[in-house]
Structure 1
Amino acid sequence: MIAIERKFNAYLDQINHITVLLPFTYFEGTSNKFSIKGEGVDLPLAIEEKVYLEHVVKYICTSSVELVIGRQYTIMDEHGGETDLQIGAVIRTEEFDQLFYYDGNDLGVHFTPEKTAFKLWAPTASKVKLKLFKNEETTHELITMERVDKGIWSIAVDRNLESYQYTFLVCVNLEWREAVDPYATALTANGGYGVIIDKEKTKVSMVNLPPFSSPTDAVIYETHIRDLTIHPNSGVNSQGTYSGAAEIGTVSPSGMMTGLSYIKSLGVTHIEFLPFHDFEGVDELDRNSSYNWGYNPIHFNVPDGSYASDPEDPVNRIIELKQLISAVHSLELRVIMDVVYNHVYIREDSSFEKIVPGYYFRHNEHGLPSNGTGVGNDFASERLMARKFIIDSLLYWLKEYKIDGFRFDLMGILDVETMEAVRKAVDAIDSCTLIIGEGWDLNTPLLPEKKANIANQAKLPRIGQFNDLFRDTIKGSTFNLYDRGYALGNDRVIESAKQVLAGSIGIGKRRHGLFLQPTQSVNYIESHDNHTLWDKLKICDPDEDESVLKKKHRLATSIVLLSQGIPFLHSGQEFFRTKKGIGNSYRSPDDVNWLDWDLRDANLENVEFIKGLINIRKMNAAFRFSESEQIRQHISCLSLPSPLIGISIGDIGHLGSWENILIFFNPSLTQQLVELSESASWNVLADHERASAVPFRHIEGDKVLLEPCSILIAAK
């Protein structure tokens, strides 16, 4: 990129509005007239307004003819000075979006052995060239591309280009920039160049899973591809890779299942992998030298090479990721992909910014890039071609990799209309696809009613939201480590706890809840972000006996699995995962982030308890109602002294084996005697020691003793 020296600047800020900025150092910022010259244009501009700013004088001018975006124009002043007309804020106008929206499905590269077609959306470019080469050691070709309708640049090369590398050279505002194709589906190591591949050679056979009826039937288990297998005692051969995560039948030194087979044994339904699209933070050619969660997105349609056995082979990572997904499917589990469409790693270096500067990112009222994400840029999903990119990318993963669900990182940055369009587009392929996201209210310049956050959940009926009310009510504040929730002994949140247990839809006197339907509530107390629950417990109660802390931990996790909504578990939560007190471990070493299989082996009793609860949930539809009215019809709260909570699920004979189920929660450190709803013979499905879908003991009468810091599930 070559810097252009200009004595003054001129910008096209609307289709027929030009802003000229004259610095005080240039004729004291004065000019009484301006004119424009270019292809088919040679005429004066009308000065509509003159504004004195700190260092420049701003002239707002209008043109009597509509200018053609993509052509070069020269602006002249009364002194004989001239400058090029740069593309300014016009690209963020509705008129620009309507003028250049392209609805085709052929952007990027389309390969056949006889011909490869290239298409790039770059409406503000005056010239575009395709840079093509076999490898970095060979001489490259520069092929001029042709501009066609809607800002599309196109070229077809009539020969076999398999394995060729390519970039685009784009000239905007007289400056040439080189960029990787944003629609690239294969890359060189560390993403320096796009690669043309024959997708027929990446095909992997997949198991066709039966339809998934309701989001509340899901039990999500979140993990990181490297964390899952990198521990020395994981029993995995290809540790830290797609292939390692796909290994089945691996065991720890004690002979207990690890990895994918272990996850299957838990009874969960979906594995959510932290981001595996191409990201910054790990050198793909030296992956063991650093660690990253993957929230630094670079290229959205290519698997990251740091998990591949051969990152220098662009086809290898594609095949190995597909083989991992196939292995998950072979165990009748589903894959949720963590997607990060809310920002890019570095805006200035991104292909989006190089190809169409200023379009793909949100700007504040001062014209500066907004920063609701906290990483320096917010993706402008409300713009038509930005929205189209998100949808095109999702559909590519859905069709090509057979992904079963998407978890949207910082979904509150995106707009409601985009997420509605996402749901509709995904439904057209597979309506069983799970869509969940972080609906936090973030400081991005969107109108409040347009943000895809929890406050607007009523506009997003089939999209789940991570329920921070649930998290903070049961565990305590994530951001104040010393704040305690219900499971940690805070009896001031009992009423809130009852509401989140019932799906946060509003029961009893509270007829309006956080959500309209339980399918929108993703219930969790721990995820990759922030401290693990075990670490929070250790910080809150450093002198408490570990046996007591484990009871509190089990109680909190039990509430996740027994509440209405979608339960979400962080990998290792079932065996008291610790990150050594580190909250934000996104680039901490392996020994902080890995799944410690020795710790799992030491806590098998708790693992079995959690497995039992998952099975109870799966075997009893009453724990996973999909409609709010079902919850209000069948669920009520028992009248019990604080801090106890009793939930009755009644009149459910049509749903399975039981007519009535009682669930008791005792967060206190003492035994508590409670009355059952009636004197009868009750079957115990869970108590302080055991959980099983098959009753393992009986209670006769109308009273039961609850052990300290425990649950009890009784059914009849």
Structure 2
Amino acid sequence: MIRDYSAYKKVSQAFTAYWDDFQTITVMADISLDVQDAYTLTDGHIDLSIEVKETSKMGKKRLVSLHVDHEYSPGNNYFLVHSSGETSLVFTGKVVRTDLFDERYYYDGELGAILTENGTIFRVWAPTATEVIVNIYNEEFQKVKELPMLKQEQGVFEGLAPEDGEGTLYTYTVYVNGEIRETIDPYAKAATSNCKFGMVMNASNTNPDGWNPMEKPTFAKPSDAVIYELHVRDFSSQAKSGLKNRGKYKAFTEEPPPKDGLPSGINYIKWLGVTHVELLPIQDFGSVDEMKAPPGYNWGYDPIHYFVPEGSYSLNSHEPYTRIREVKEMIGKLHEKGLRVIMDVVYNHVYQLHASPLEKIVPGYYFRFDHGGKPSNGTGVGNDTASERRMMRKLIVDSVVYWAKEYGVDGFRFDLMGIHDKETMNEVRYALDCIDPSILIFGEGWHMNTILPDHRKAMSSNARETPRIGYFNDHFRDSVKGKLFDTGSTGFANGNFSVKEDVKKCIMGSVGDKFITASQSINYVECHDNHTLWDRLNRSHPSVREEVKQGMHRLATAITILCQGIPFIHAGQEFFRTKNGVEDSYKSPDKINRFDWQRMRAVQENVKYIRGLISIRKHFEAFKMTEGHDMNRINFIDSPGPILAYRINQHHTSEAIIVIHNGGYHSDVIDIGDGDKWVLVEGEHASVEPLRKTSEKVISIAPFSTIVLITSD
């Protein structure tokens, strides 16, 4: 049982005090309090020498800076006593955010509940805590035991429970900053509903039959990827999906029969031809109550726990092993179908700062604070994590490594990656290279208004300093479809020819312009955020006929798939996905967010067209070049304003590929030279097998369409 500190933990009504570095205490006191030689510092046993270094006024308060001869020792209680008798605990303040704190208390070992032959070792990093205990609970969630933990080096607390092994439910109680806080272990690998209790896990007992996380589809280089972004629940929530386990991980293991001539379920994704399925967050998040049936809807960008899968997609969130086994089954089935799996990970913020296990255990450490002491809010959700601090960096690296090793994850998409620092992202890259160099890493490299200096941020303008890490190419997006935050603006694919030169740079993977290699460029015109492309076109072109908008949509998607770089497709983009005009559907109901299997089959000719484009990209190396010198093989053809045409010389052959895009409202012609040519893409058809042969020198192209030809010089 944690000792009673009530005699000392009183907080003065007249002042508060904080350790701001190892020898500085900052006091905020009533203006009426005497300052000079008025304070005494004690650790509860002896008085410590202090000196008033500076005082200043702040409204009706006075700031006092005290120099302490004795260095602050984390995990000890210090009390400041005023000559008036007012007494307050000296809270741990900015000292935890100093470089010296990181240097002295960084711990590089294993954390969490470690199952051994002799019981369970519980290990938690809590350098500022005075005491930590492990609470052991039974299956009825009643506390049955408290295990005191011993403080080790680098601020780690450790306890051995010889009688408590696999299946043990536990929490930590931490005494820190004058408060007693109970919390789940941030390194727990298994947990009950809503991650209230951690559970000691034997990972081998969560494995499906024949499970091998390293058995995965072969994959040569990043530019071979075609990414398909999908929400677990969306995939199967529609009744017409033909899937029984609607909204669940299990739906990915089902293989319903084909319908209307097209595959269903997971076989549809395989048939479409993409290489990677990117799943919106499946780490435990807080915006959906796992105990509620049916659970509410959310995209899941509200993380609570980084090592445990989300339970609302499980058939049984109460049983900790079930969700783990189901995620492994889902990934195993995707691998079996030749599909790699990318996780959308959210390390840039947490659901609620003060409810986070990280904040409960080491207050003020894992997050950024502005110069006024308020949480930095570059994420827009009230808190920014501090990846530059070594234990937050360790948590990020440990987590992705765990998902890669234990679950066989093949890639990580970092939400708001621009919040993170470059060093952390490069460490993530190195750690994953040690497991599997083909694992993809990319993210949103936006400039975020967080307190971290710009030169340290993992944003696209610093891409040259983060090799082999990809960035969403917003320049591509805005040039092709129009500026994101101006829904009335247009891009090349919907009639704006002024951006033609910008699109040319994007066609070459923005190499030299933005990135070191083309594989750093994640090319997209639609994702889960903001309007779908179809809904955007309905806003920017409200009076245009539907068939014209479909042409614009096809053209934008064709440019995405045929550009150098990595094409990124939002699930349903191939069938003009709509969310009924809802811009950000993060908590909209299933009827807005569901993957519309009926709509897919109703416009299956367009779906087959997108499938054909993907097959062409995969077949020809000319669409998957990477290095800057490779871009010399691309030669743009002189063409009228609405036409963008170019020739790519095939490597080591006399063949060339000619790509022509028409972003205008009228048919136009272009001179593509003499010789026989084989048409692969034209109108609403696309295929690796030629559609027809032509010897025409001047070719006509329909409005808002793409032509691809093969020619032999």
TM-score (norm 1): 0.96
> 1:586 corresponds to which residue?
586
> Which has the higher mean CA deviation after the structures are superposed, 373-382 or 659-668?
659-668
Map residues 324-339 of structure 1 onto 2, 5 A cutoff.
324-339=330-345
Note if 1:133 corresponds to 2:140. Answer: no
Contact 1:369 1:378 in 2 (8 A): yes
Q: What is the alpha-carbon distance in structure 2 between the residues aligned to residue 36 and residue 669 of structure 1?
A: 79
Q: Secondary structure at the match of 1:297?
A: coil
Cα shift readout 1:658-714 (whole Å, capped 9, x = no counterpart): 6111100111121111101x2000111111131111112111131111112111111
Note if 1:144 corresponds to 2:148. Answer: yes
Contact 1:33 1:45 in 2 (8 A): no
Equivalent residue for 1:666, pick from 657, 662, 665: 662
Q: Secondary structure at the match of 2:239?
A: coil
Contact 1:684 1:713 in 2 (8 A): yes
Q: Secondary structure at the match of 1:654?
A: coil
Flag structure 1 segments of 5+ consecutive residues without an equivalent: 506-511
Q: What is the alpha-carbon distance in structure 1 between the residues aligned to residue 114 and residue 143 of structure 2?
A: 23
Contact 1:560 1:568 in 2 (8 A): yes
Pairwise CA distance, 1:79: 3.2
Map residues 305-324 of structure 1 onto 2, 5 A cutoff.
305-324=311-330
Note if 1:61 corresponds to 2:79. Answer: no
Pairwise CA distance, 1:4: 4.7
Contact 1:31 1:79 in 2 (8 A): no
Q: Secondary structure at the match of 2:48?
A: strand
Q: Give 1:644's aligned amino acid.
A: I
Equivalent residue for 1:267, pick from 257, 273, 276: 273
> 1:555 corresponds to which residue?
555
> 1:564 corresponds to which residue?
564
Contact 1:370 1:376 in 2 (8 A): yes
Cα shift readout 1:80-122 (whole Å, capped 9, x = no counterpart): 4332221111001001010100011x20011136400000000
Note if 1:391 corresponds to 2:390. Answer: no
Contact 2:242 2:256 in 1 (8 A): no
Equivalent residue for 2:119, pick from 115, 119, 131: 115
Pairwise CA distance, 1:152: 0.1
Q: What is the alpha-carbon distance in structure 2 between the residues aligned to residue 90 and residue 653 of structure 1?
A: 58
Equivalent residue for 1:689, pick from 661, 664, 684: 684
Q: Give 2:43's aligned amino acid.
A: G
Q: What is the alpha-carbon distance in structure 1 between the residues aligned to residue 293 and residue 570 of structure 2?
A: 24
Cα shift readout 1:530-553 (whole Å, capped 9, x = no counterpart): 100111111122222111111111
Cα shift readout 1:534-578 (whole Å, capped 9, x = no counterpart): 111111222221111111110110000010000000000001000
Equivalent residue for 1:92, pick from 90, 97, 106: 97
Q: What is the alpha-carbon distance in structure 1 between the residues aligned to residue 660 and residue 43 of structure 2?
A: 78
Q: What is the alpha-carbon distance in structure 1 between the residues aligned to residue 564 and residue 626 of structure 2?
A: 8
Q: What is the alpha-carbon distance in structure 2 between the residues aligned to residue 351 and residue 468 of structure 1?
A: 34
Contact 2:111 2:124 in 1 (8 A): yes
Note if 1:14 corresponds to 2:14. Answer: no
Flag structure 2 segments of 5+ consecutive residues without an equivalent: none
Equivalent residue for 1:181, pick from 165, 180, 185: 185
Q: What is the alpha-carbon distance in structure 2 between the residues aligned to residue 81 and residue 275 of structure 1?
A: 49
Q: What is the alpha-carbon distance in structure 2 between the residues aligned to residue 586 and residue 450 of structure 1?
A: 30
Q: Secondary structure at the match of 1:686?
A: strand
Q: Give 1:654's aligned amino acid.
A: H
Contact 2:274 2:614 in 1 (8 A): yes
- Percent identity (aligned): 42
Note if 1:641 corresponds to 2:640. Answer: yes
Cα shift readout 1:406-427 (whole Å, capped 9, x = no counterpart): 0000000001111011101111
Q: Secondary structure at the match of 1:403?
A: coil
> 2:461 corresponds to which residue?
455
> 1:281 corresponds to which residue?
287
> Which has the higher mean CA deviation after the structures are superposed, 564-573 or 684-693?
684-693
Q: Give 1:695's aligned amino acid.
A: P
> 2:707 corresponds to which residue?
712
Cα shift readout 1:262-287 (whole Å, capped 9, x = no counterpart): 00001110000000010122221225
Map residues 511-590 of structure 1 onto 2, 5 A cutoff.
512-590=512-590
TM-score (norm 2): 0.96
Contact 1:234 1:250 in 2 (8 A): no
Pairwise CA distance, 1:40: 6.6
CA RMSD, 1 decimal: 1.6
Q: What is the alpha-carbon distance in structure 2 between the residues aligned to residue 629 and residue 595 of structure 1?
A: 41
Note if 1:654 corresponds to 2:652. Answer: yes
Q: Give 1:172's aligned amino acid.
A: V
Q: Secondary structure at the match of 2:323?
A: helix
Equivalent residue for 1:377, pick from 383, 391, 394: 383
Note if 1:199 corresponds to 2:203. Answer: yes
Q: What is the alpha-carbon distance in structure 2 between the residues aligned to residue 180 and residue 198 of structure 1?
A: 18
Pairwise CA distance, 1:137: 4.8
Q: What is the alpha-carbon distance in structure 2 between the residues aligned to residue 250 and residue 4 of structure 1?
A: 68
Contact 2:79 2:90 in 1 (8 A): yes
Pairwise CA distance, 1:31: 4.3
Q: What is the alpha-carbon distance in structure 2 between the residues aligned to residue 634 and residue 551 of structure 1?
A: 29
CA separation of 1:683 and 1:118: change in aligned 2, threshold 3 A = same
Note if 1:244 corresponds to 2:248. Answer: no
Contact 2:35 2:64 in 1 (8 A): no
Q: Secondary structure at the match of 1:446?
A: coil
Note if 1:291 corresponds to 2:290. Answer: no
Equivalent residue for 2:75, pick from 70, 75, 78: 70
Q: What is the alpha-carbon distance in structure 1 between the residues aligned to residue 287 and residue 241 of structure 2?
A: 24
Contact 2:167 2:201 in 1 (8 A): yes
Q: Secondary structure at the match of 1:397?
A: helix
